[in-house]
Amino acid sequence: MRRLNVILLVLFLLIAVPYYWLLLDNRPGSGPAKPIRIADLRALADAMPGPRPGVMDGEVAAYRSLPRNLFAAGAGLKREPIAVLAWQLHAADGSSVVIDSGIAAQDATAMGMTKINPEGQARIERALRSAKLVLFTHEHPDHQGAALRMAGGLPAGARLNPGQLPQAELAAKLPWQAGAAPVANLSAAAPQAVAPGVVVIPAPASHTPGSQLIYVRMADGQEVLFTGDIATLRHSWQDLRARSHLVTQFMAPENRAEVYAWLKTIRQLKQEAPGLHVVPGHDITSLYPMLGHAPIARNQFRFELQH
């Protein structure tokens, strides 16, 4: 009997310890939030003259369903739609800012997306071409890849920080003319205004080398924070949950301590500005409360932000 107990204990440890570490471990560490205050972001958003964005459109380019634990360790085994999203912000002068680029068909297949939306992706690519400014939350294929792969090269409005330049192996496969490779034309040194109402908040060496948050102060004063995959889901920032070790050790490495510091920063900003709309990298569910009405079409949304 005693021997059986020992065997059961060993079996338990062999299964439970790796399971805990791979999927549940969510120790956030003691690193502090970044010293970024909502008042600083508001001042930067107001620094550039011109109309701030008045309308915000969103598009679902593709999605798949996966257990929450993968992207928010310890949030449960319930499956969650992981959507590939892109955003277009329209100002009253007819100009627009696009955030992220959806996903190219070959990357959607490689990433195991079960539903893809080619019409939506075509709309995103038209928006990328016409945008005054194109920003990326980070350099992964489901955020930046489709812009890199566009025939004719990167959209004219694209701005990349040094960590977002494609690595040589990827760059060699892209449909660019000789000499057309992009240069870094966006600093990753400190929060900066890039358009009226639009502020880039560099978060280098966190989820990825080129990660950044994007803060927008709309024409009517509403505030939106695009987190990229520092917060993949609402649980990431609301409950302070990084990605699981299963994902970060074997699929998409990240600097976990820095990710936690930024998740704390997002919470701090939300505390300072309770009306702030936080837009996680892949969380379609958390966006429904921001919709003013039914989708324009399947997977295509216009957000009427609620005060």
**Residue (41 or 108) nearer to Zn ion, CB:** 108
**Residue (251 or 297) nearer to Zn ion, CB:** 251
Q: Which amino acid is at 242?
A: A
Residue 258 structure tokens: 């820095």
**Residue (44 or 113) nearer to Zn ion, CB:** 113
- Cα(222)–Cα(306) distance, integer angstroms: 8
What residues does 279 pair with on adjacent strands? 226
Judged by the rule CB under 5 A, the positions of this chain that interact with Zn ion are 142, 229, 281
Report whether 226 contacts 242 (CB < 8 A): no
CB of 143 to Zn ion, least distance (A): 6
**Local structure of 260: helix, strand or coil:** helix
CB of 131 to Zn ion, least distance (A): 20
CB of 85 to Zn ion, least distance (A): 9
The sheet with strand 192-195 has its strands ordered as 192-195, 198-202, 212-217, 223-228, 277-280
**Local structure of 223: helix, strand or coil:** strand
**Residue (201 or 218) nearer to Zn ion, CB:** 201
- Residue bearing tokens 């959507």: 83
CB of 112 to Zn ion, least distance (A): 13
**Residue (229 or 254) nearer to Zn ion, CB:** 229
CB of 68 to Zn ion, least distance (A): 15
**Local structure of 266: helix, strand or coil:** helix
Q: Give the up-direction half-sphere exposure of residue 283: CA atoms within 13 A in the CB hemisphere.
A: 27
